[in-house]
Amino acid sequence: MSVDGPSQAFKRHGRIVIVGASLAGLRAAETLRKEGFTGSLTMIGDEPQEPYDRPPLSKQVLLGRMPADGAPLPRRCAIDAQWRLGVAATGLDLVGKRVRMADGEEVAFDRLLIATGTRARPWVKEAEADLDGVFVLRTSGDAVLLNRRLTARPRRVLIIGAGFTGSEIASACRERGLEVTVAERGPAPLVGALGGVIGAVAAELQRAHGVDLRCGITVTALEGDPAGRLTRAHLSDGTALDVDVAVVALGAMRNTEWLAGSGVAAGPRGIACDAGCRAFDVHGIVTDDIFVAGDVARSPHPLFAYQFLSLEHWGNAVAQAEIAAHNMIASGPDRLPHLWVPAFWSAQFGVNIKSTGVPTMGDKLMITQGSLAEHRFAAAYGFQGRVIAAVTFDQARWLDFYRKLIESAAPFPLDFANVDRRPEGLRPVPAEFPDPSLPSHGPTVTLSGYSPSDRRVTFTPAHA
């Protein structure tokens, strides 16, 4: 059936396929049904489980407070879908409007929602990644394996990468009384997301809780015994570390490979779409029937200079899925833009970290309440004379106030006369984000030897 502008007939009898059966896919499916879509709905997901919640995997699950399979997401309504779980989508025929699946089957659609999300970035050297004791953490399956190993009380856990996931895993390990080393390429934990000023607080938290935190360090090799068990990690400062568990926490990769050659503008940075969640094709023309939501999407945000934002946030998956689903069954003027103000949270080392806005756009920040030294504060980020983001450490109740400042383009620096500001917070300071134009991991290559047969290259991965 052809859908030339959404019609009542489509809402009644259309065929919608959702690829990606996690948070975004589920919330989109619910929204479709709630808004009156009664046609056929197919949910395709490569994981065998029904949609589940991922944030507990690096927190409650690793603390042993709940089983890794214990968080199927609650449903807001019955979605009456055909579920195709445990089978990945492998291709998209844009003209024929069909999704190809790993088992050879094809599913036809009138409208498609792509919510394939991300996967953990694996350790770059495949043979080392295969060592027994090397883990990533993204899926409940990953969490089962990692938790099982942590329960067996390894002598030392190495976390590679001190972003949010790595830091949360380190926190859980310390809470379980395990020895932990964190190797971070940058100058501090969380520096990519929150900048160096806040990163320094995160570093203090880690060290105060007994983490052996090593910044400006990369892991150059993982070494195993003859039986293939991880025994040792080699670091870029020339030292080595005896470890039996290494968790690779180097961020995520977007699941777009299955769209290669499809004509959809999909690549390593995600799938570009408009603010109404419609995917762009490779010509830069917006498609009519292909929608995108969640971690895999990149969409322009009017509030943030129309930049295309990729947001790997729980809240974005929910909000964007609802907008995408609404727009899949709404006609032109009734379509809504995705205007959700980015927000995320992390719990680590007993501190509740929350953020709103886009901190990485901020070049300056002010500690507007509390104090860095107390690990309890609110900080506002400024960009071109306005408030662009905020972060709180154990000050969550203030965050909504800052969100409204961001939404109303409140001027920066902020001048709050009547809050508990300390001298350190009266002036803006550079937020200290790493310069994105500089390669953060360029190696140092040195030559040694004189005669051509002696000449050797020494390759040293850079300190960040």
Min CB(115)–other proteins separation in Å: 16
Min CB(205)–other proteins separation in Å: 11
Min CB(118)–other proteins separation in Å: 19
Min CB(82)–other proteins separation in Å: 10
Task: Give the Cα-Cα-Cα angle 245, 250, 251 (nearest 5 degrees).
Answer: 130
The footprint of other proteins on residues 9-28 (CB under 8 A) is 21
Using CB under 8 A, pick the residue from 3, 35, 40, 55 that binds other proteins.
Answer: 55
Using CB under 8 A, pick the residue from 58, 116, 139, 147 that binds other proteins.
Answer: 147
Distance CA 366, CA 451 (A): 57
Using CB under 8 A, pick the residue from 64, 411, 442, 449 that binds other proteins.
Answer: 64
Show the tokens assigned to 393.
């450490």
Using CB under 8 A, pick the residue from 36, 48, 302, 430 that binds other proteins.
Answer: 48
The footprint of other proteins on residues 372-411 (CB under 8 A) is 376, 394, 396-397, 399-400
Q: Does 209 bind other proteins (CB under 8 A)?
A: no
Distance CA 53, CA 70 (A): 9
Q: Does 56 bind other proteins (CB under 8 A)?
A: yes
- In a 13 Å sphere around the CA of 106, the CA atoms on its Cβ side amount to 9
> What is the number of other CB atoms lying within 10 angstroms of the CB of residue 325?
28
Q: Does 53 bind other proteins (CB under 8 A)?
A: yes
Q: What is the per-residue binding string for other proteins in 67-96, x denoting contact by CB under 8 A?
A: xxxxxxxxxxxxxxx-x-xx----------
Distance CA 247, CA 256 (A): 24
Min CB(116)–other proteins separation in Å: 17
Q: Which phi-psi region, left, alpha or beta, contains residue 86 (left: φ > 0; alpha: ψ -120 to 50)? A: left
Residues that contact other proteins, how many (by CB under 8 A): 54
Q: Which phi-psi region, left, alpha or beta, contains residue 346 (left: φ > 0; alpha: ψ -120 to 50)? A: beta
Show the tokens assigned to 71.
């968080």
Say if CB 364 and CB 371 are below 8 A apart: no
Min CB(41)–other proteins separation in Å: 11
Q: Which residues are bridge partners to 139 per DSSP?
A: none
The footprint of other proteins on residues 311-340 (CB under 8 A) is 314-315, 318
Our CB check for other proteins shows the closer of 108 and 347 to be 347
Q: Does 32 bind other proteins (CB under 8 A)?
A: no
27: enclosing H helix or E strand:
helix 23-34
What one-character DSSP code corresponds to residue 385? Answer: T
Q: How far is CA 420 from CA 296, 380, 390, 460, in A?
A: 41, 15, 17, 47
Say if CB 254 and CB 263 are below 8 A apart: no
Using CB under 8 A, pick the residue from 7, 34, 50, 220 that binds other proteins.
Answer: 50
Min CB(433)–other proteins separation in Å: 23
Secondary structure of residue 298 in the 3-state scheme:
strand
Show the tokens assigned to 59.
């927190």
Q: Does 430 bind other proteins (CB under 8 A)?
A: no
Distance CA 362, CA 405 (A): 14
Stretch that binds other proteins, among 121-129, 147-155, 327-335, 452-460 (CB under 8 A): 147-155
Q: Which residues bind other proteins (CB under 8 A)?
A: 21, 43, 48-50, 53, 55-56, 59-60, 63-81, 83, 85-86, 140, 144, 147-148, 151, 314-315, 318, 343-345, 347, 350-352, 354, 376, 394, 396-397, 399-400
